[in-house]
Amino acid sequence: MKNLVEFSRKYGSDPELVLAGGGNTSMKENGVLYVKGSGCSLSTIEAENFVAMDLEELLKILEKEYPASDREREAMFLADVSAAKLPGEEEKRPSVEALLHALFPQRYVLHLHPALVNGLTCGVDGEKIAKELFPDAIWVNACKPGYTLAKLLSDKINPETDTVLLQNHGVFFASQTPEGLEELLQGMLSVLKAQLPGELPEVLEDVDLSKPFTPDHIVYCGVGPTLPETANAHLLYRDAQKINWYAKAFGGPLPLKKELVEFILNWEAESYRKKKA
Ligand SMILES: [Zn+2]
């Protein structure tokens, strides 16, 4: 647990890797998944902010059938995820990506939204370039987060998978050790840096708020016409500007699909996170 708290804080407090308390981490031990609680900040996380969950119960969700309607499915999924918490954890709410964390057989999982990585995941040619640069990584096209994403990945992740790139969202790394996570992350960042035309300019061009790149931009910057006057909104706007610039090295910027923007705007799980933050 000490390791988990330590590396969570380290990555959570680096604004190049994750902003506004976003991102999440987990550890598995003796059939229990310890995953970050929804809405907790990774940079200041304490051991008690992790939610202890029965791994086997959590993975049983993948065998269930859920309704097609977003509202019904998400409500049932939330109830089933909640039921997989260990006794004593009732008051806590796990990260929306808890099930995806459970899918990796490795002990530690790290999920981040680095602007540089999102230059690739939000690039028009992101998938093609990712396959060339990271042939062993899994690429997932933008889809609804939470249940839909985990279900989609459930038959793609194998024991050798240590990297998953999520289009218009971020990256997952999995390893038996925290050092292994660091190696995966630094390896990816240095490969991506080598693709850039030079250093990130001081002054970056404006981005269109009505065309967000990732769920975080929707949650904190809104979808226009003006940027909310909050510190997080300004941080995430700067992040969107960076992604916009980085994405030029990967075929040009590609915003999130309209239907996904709508889904995130109406998703109860995101309004919960926003409220907590
Ligand atoms: Zn994320």
What's the pLDDT score for residue 21?
Answer: 84
Q: Which pLDDT tens digit goes with each residue over 70-111?
A: 889 989 999 999 999 999 999 999 999 999 999 999 999 999
What's the pLDDT score for residue 132?
Answer: 98
> Residue 264 Cα, ligand 1 centroid: separation in angstroms?
12
> Residue 23 Cα, ligand 1 centroid: separation in angstroms?
5
> Residue 9 Cα, ligand 1 centroid: separation in angstroms?
16
What stretches of 87-226 adopt beta strand conformation (E)?
A: 108-112, 138-140, 163-166, 170-175
Please determine, for residue 274, whether its predicted confidence score (pLDDT) is greater than 70.
no
The span from the CA of 170 to the CA of 238, in Å, is 16
Contact yes or no for 24/172 (Cβ under 8 A): no
The span from the CA of 139 to the CA of 153, in Å, is 10
Q: What percent of the chain has pLDDT over 70?
A: 97
> Residue 46 Cα, ligand 1 centroid: separation in angstroms?
20
> Residue 171 Cα, ligand 1 centroid: separation in angstroms?
8
Q: What is the mean pLDDT of the chain?
A: 95
**Alpha-carbon dihedral 214, 174, 249, 149, rounded to 10 degrees:** -40
Instruction: Establish whether the linkage from the previous residue to 225 is cis, with ω within 30° of 0.
Output: yes
* Tokens of residue 143, six digits: 């889809």
Domains, the chain, ranges and CATH?
Answer: 2-193 (3.40.225.10), 215-276 (no CATH)
Q: Which amino acid is at 60?
A: K
What's the pLDDT score for residue 267?
Answer: 82
Q: Which pLDDT tens digit goes with each residue over 32-77?
A: 999 999 889 999 999 999 999 999 999 999 999 999 998 899 899 9
> Residue 249 Cα, ligand 1 centroid: separation in angstroms?
22
> Residue 112 Cα, ligand 1 centroid: separation in angstroms?
6
Please determine, for residue 270, whether its predicted confidence score (pLDDT) is greater than 70.
no
> Residue 220 Cα, ligand 1 centroid: separation in angstroms?
13
> Residue 39 Cα, ligand 1 centroid: separation in angstroms?
12
What's the pLDDT score for residue 151?
Answer: 96
The C-alpha R_g of the chain, in whole angstroms, comes to 18
> Residue 113 Cα, ligand 1 centroid: separation in angstroms?
6
Single out the residue of 37, 10, 25, 233 nearest to residue 112, CA to CA: 25
What stretches of the chain adopt beta strand conformation (E)?
A: 24-29, 32-36, 50-54, 108-112, 138-140, 163-166, 170-175
